[in-house]
């Protein structure tokens, strides 16, 4: 919840005047724990391709906050945000692959997505990466590291500020 609220608050400055009201309503709804209302205001942003909103919807679906819990939709929205460079969504996607939530369990994918989130400073991803390594073979780790490099080039580098 704090992560969602923090992300929304930080992005408030980026909202255009046309949508600033809806953005502020989404922040207020999240702060009040009114997830159904937050969902109503966040969904249009996500549908327009805003990574922060996609990541929030992914979390809402994963946790059943304001919507019926749905791991498939959680993966969908987290993947969209992760592919736009959102580190939190990348970490969430790694966890979903690790646990087989909404996708087939895949330690290589889990390790790769979690690794890029960890490299970007996500503390939970750093911890989870260590946990994952304990359950993986050397071959899986090597494949995960290789995939992590590919994902980094595709889903982190293009979104880094120069």
Q: Does position 9 have pLDDT exceeding 60, yes or no?
A: no
Query: pTM of the entire structure?
Result: 0.86
- pLDDT, tens digit, for every residue of 45-69? 999 999 999 999 999 999 999 999 9
Report which of 99, 104, 155 is spatially closest to residue 132, judged by C-alpha positions: 99
- pLDDT, tens digit, for every residue of 98-131? 999 999 999 999 999 999 999 999 999 999 999 9
């Amino acid at each position: 919840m704090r992560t969602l609220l923090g992300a929304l608050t930080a992005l408030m400055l980026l909202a255009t005047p046309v949508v600033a009201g809806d953005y502020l309503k989404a922040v207020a709804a999240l702060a009040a724990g009114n997830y159904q209302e937050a969902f109503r205001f966040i969904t249009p942003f996500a549908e327009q391709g805003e990574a922060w909103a996609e990541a929030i919807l992914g979390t809402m679906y994963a946790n059943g906050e304001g919507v019926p819990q749905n791991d498939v939709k959680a993966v969908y929205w987290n993947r969209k945000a992760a592919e736009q460079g959102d580190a939190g969504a990348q970490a969430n996607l790694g966890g979903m692959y690790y646990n087989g939530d909404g996708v087939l369990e895949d330690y290589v994918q889990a390790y790769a997505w979690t690794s890029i989130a960890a490299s970007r400073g996500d503390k939970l991803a750093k911890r989870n990466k260590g946990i994952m390594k304990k359950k993986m073979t050397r071959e899986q780790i090597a494949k995960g590291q290789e995939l992590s490099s590919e994902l980094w080039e595709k889903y982190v580098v293009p979104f880094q500020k120069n």
